Amino acid sequence: MRLIAPDEGMLYHIIEKRRPDLAKKIRNTRTIETVVVGLGGQGTRHAELMQQYGTAITAGIAPGRGGTRLLETIPIYNTISECLTEHPNIAVASIWRHYSTAKDATIEVIEAGIPVVVLISEGIPVRDVRDILVAARKHNTLLVGGNTPGVIFPPEGIKVGMLPDVFYPQEVSTEEFGPKGVTIISRSGAILYHLSDALASVGIAQNAVIGIGGDGAIGSTFRDLVPLAMEYKNTDLVVIAGEIGGCQEELLAEDIQKHPEKYPKPMVALISGAHAPEGKTMGHAGAIVSPGQTYGTFQSKKHALEQAGVPVANSQYDLIEEVKTKLNDKNYFDVEHYYKKMKTIWDAPAKKPGWSTLITNVMPNNLLISGYPLQDIVERKGFLEVAYLLIKGEFPDKKTLEEMRKIAVTAAKLPVPKITRLHNEDVSKTLVKYLVLDESLAAFPQEGIDGAVKKTIFCLGRAARYLSGIYGTEKALEKLNENEPFSYIIYRAITGNSKVNEKHSRLIEAMIVACVDHGVTPPSAQATLIAATTRAPYEVAVAHGVGAITDVHGGAGAKAAQFFNECIKKAKKEKIDVSLATRNLMREYIEEGKRVEGMGHRVHTKDPRRDVLWNLATQTGIASEHVQLSKIISTIFEQVRGMSLPINVDGVIGSIVADMGLDPTIAKVLFIYGRLAGLSAHYFEEVASQPRMRQINFAEAIYKGEEMRKIP
């Protein structure tokens, strides 16, 4: 069903009266933006329900959590002023803070100029409410609450607060909702649900529902809200749901008699608490009859409203009859159709558990990073650009990329301790030791909007320096040109050559980029995420991931390079065809129980990174006998084993490393280095968007990032 346009609904009507300039922007953007202030358990849970209903939640506010995300996708800011700098069109705020801090949070939002504020917090001291009311009046803010269940506008698909999705709008056709209906304004939240069912059972729509709040002192009363609802052209009738205690209903009745012009539309009232004993609080702080008082009782309210011409119903049945009479038995939708639709919603299977990632969408034979196919990225983008994309979701502009390059070069220039390595120690283990102990990396700030990406880039620079120490290539980095591409530094660190071979440098960078990420399920990503959920420091968490890169996970490229080398050597030594030598060696491997690495993939039948690396190897003139062998290895394997296993990215990288004449272990180093960027992205996404100490079911991860798109 199509919702009404944003500028046709009651919420827009309210905003326009408070902030005409903001209403004009809403007409242009076609969106009413909201913000959630206070992100504890209740605020977070109901933010999700509001979003599911259709509310446009633009941001969340939580001091100390700026730079993180609400519901995995919504940015969080420390203050409302920071938020409005980035999102100036926010029109509605819901406040979910504890009563002890609700005053300051609410006044901050009011003074920021947000025209509609829904104060969910309950039990706020009266002296604090007084200060909030003074601020609201000064800034012409519509304040609803405190202790309100919120507001909901069914034809607009917007709710702010904790009201359920049981209220139903007018249907102008089977495809489109309409703006007309009854407006319900209630002191009680629970009674609203019953009113909805009662009215819907006879085809009466609700165009707006407002819970004004149950505390003794609140922002907006019946006397404030009923005339506002009646000013809205599409409200046909107002239902007020009152209760014992206080004098709101009596004051409304008095205002109706004094200013009947403010109440041009019909009204029906329902009062709860007819049999409540004096002096006993009935659910709400405001629902208490003071002993000996002639106001606040059921009878005093009923009498006052009826004197003002407002019928008071004693039951839901009576309410339905009164409303039908006032509306001349008007129907807003087909009741049978309504119940069928509701049944579909109520009978829908429970939502499957899951959690979101915006980084990489892993599909058979395709990999999307923020919507961009990885094979296209490998072909067209450099490592720093891709590291930025992984964190920020977009490629950097030229100015930003230059800033990132300077950070990486600075990090690579910083000296490192003399690298000590145990005999046969895996390169991943060596790198882990030094990353964890790197004081400059630990001290590098990660706060702020760009903190995460800057720290990642700094880490990549440090890793280049450590790799040069591990491979004894420090001399190649002694006289770095601060203006050269970072890919040159990577080339020097890996090869030890001071003079850069640009073709080799380009291909090394492409192989690194091909390895940056493969979603949340690889062991290295899982290790980093588990550390991140405990809020381990960045360098510790990514070191966890690097440590999980072993010969079993991430080591296939090195073993493939070694295998290809052996095949070529065997062919030359025995002076036989390469394919024959490969068959013979493959049989030897099988007889010895050894695996032929670089073959097969758990997701891809045709690894999307394969062809682009082969093409680049050919274009740069590097492709030779090892790459040629990699193109026929799958056929040979099927001939020997009778199994069809396509070559994967590790096998292709192994063949290129072999053709470049590099140490086979470099293939694993390229994997580790590329994956370091992806692990960083997963770390920062976890701490930004997920609760601490969560139990992670990696199979439940759902990609919610950008859909497939072309690189600009």
Domain assignment present for residue 492? The answer is no
pLDDT digits (tens, 9 = 90+) for 60-95: 999 988 888 898 889 999 999 999 998 999 999 999
CB 493 within 8 A of CB 477: yes
The residue type of 68 is T
Cα distance between residue 409 and residue 403, in whole Å:
10
Domain assignment present for residue 128? The answer is yes
Q: For residue 284, indicate whether it is catalytic.
A: yes
CB 153 within 8 A of CB 130: no
Q: Can you tell me the mean pLDDT for 547-552?
A: 94
Backbone angles phi, psi at 270, to 5 degrees: -130, 125
Domain assignment present for residue 36? The answer is yes
Cα distance between residue 494 and residue 528, in whole Å:
25
**Whether residue 556 has pLDDT greater than 70:** yes
Share of the chain above pLDDT 90, in %: 80
pLDDT digits (tens, 9 = 90+) for 215-242: 888 999 999 999 999 999 999 999 999 8
Q: How many domains is the chain partitioned into structurally?
A: 1
Helix (H) or strand (E) holding 211: strand 206-211
* Residue 292 pLDDT class (50, 70, 90 cuts): very low
- 414: which 2 tokens? 């910083």
Q: Can you tell me the mean pLDDT for 433-439?
A: 96
The three-class DSSP label of residue 59 is strand
The whole-number pLDDT of residue 571 equals 95
- The single-letter DSSP state of residue 593 is T
Torsion, Cα of 439, 442, 443, 448 (10° steps): 160
The whole-number pLDDT of residue 691 equals 85
**Whether residue 656 has pLDDT greater than 70:** yes
Is the alpha carbon torsion for 335, 339, 341, 345 positive or negative? Answer: positive
Q: Can you tell me the mean pLDDT for 488-495?
A: 95
pLDDT digits (tens, 9 = 90+) for 167-215: 999 999 989 999 999 999 999 877 887 888 889 999 999 999 999 998 8
The whole-number pLDDT of residue 174 equals 85
Question: Backbone dihedral region of 377: left (phi > 0), alpha (psi from -120 to 50 degrees) or beta?
Answer: alpha
Domain assignment present for residue 143? The answer is yes
CATH code, domain with 241: 3.40.50.261
Q: Is the peptide bond before 146 cis (omega within 30 degrees of 0)?
A: yes
Cα distance between residue 675 and residue 652, in whole Å:
17
Q: Which of 322, 313, 185 is nearest to 248 (CA)?
A: 185
Domain assignment present for residue 689? The answer is no
Beta bridge partners of 267: 238
Active-site residue, selected from the candidate residues 139, 284, 518, 604: 284
Domain assignment present for residue 435? The answer is no
The whole-number pLDDT of residue 49 equals 95
Cα distance between residue 90 and residue 31, in whole Å:
10
Domain assignment present for residue 209? The answer is yes
CB 255 within 8 A of CB 267: no
Q: Can you tell me the mean pLDDT for 573-601?
A: 93
Q: Print the domain residue range for 151.
A: 6-346
Of all residues in the chain, what percent are helix, strand and coil, respectively (each to 5)? 50, 15, 35
- The single-letter DSSP state of residue 72 is T
Per the listing, tokens 């539309």 go with 265
Mean pLDDT of the chain: 93
Cα distance between residue 456 and residue 526, in whole Å:
18
Domain assignment present for residue 381? The answer is no
Cα distance between residue 180 and residue 44, in whole Å:
32
Cα distance between residue 146 and residue 592, in whole Å:
75
pLDDT digits (tens, 9 = 90+) for 101-155: 999 999 999 999 999 999 999 999 999 999 999 999 999 999 999 999 999 999 9
Cα distance between residue 143 and residue 123, in whole Å:
16
pLDDT digits (tens, 9 = 90+) for 318-363: 999 999 999 999 999 999 988 888 888 888 888 788 899 999 999 9
**Whether residue 279 has pLDDT greater than 80:** no
CB 126 within 8 A of CB 217: yes
pLDDT digits (tens, 9 = 90+) for 666-683: 999 999 999 999 999 999
Question: Residues 45, 48, 52, CA angle at the centre, nearest 5°?
Answer: 145
Alpha carbon distances (Å) from 488 to 476, 492, 572: 10, 6, 34
pLDDT digits (tens, 9 = 90+) for 25-67: 999 999 999 999 999 999 999 999 999 999 999 999 999 888 8
The whole-number pLDDT of residue 284 equals 54
**Whether residue 290 has pLDDT greater than 60:** no
Alpha carbon distances (Å) from 117 to 92, 110, 242: 6, 7, 22
Share of the chain above pLDDT 70, in %: 97
| 328: number of Cβ within 10 Å | 6
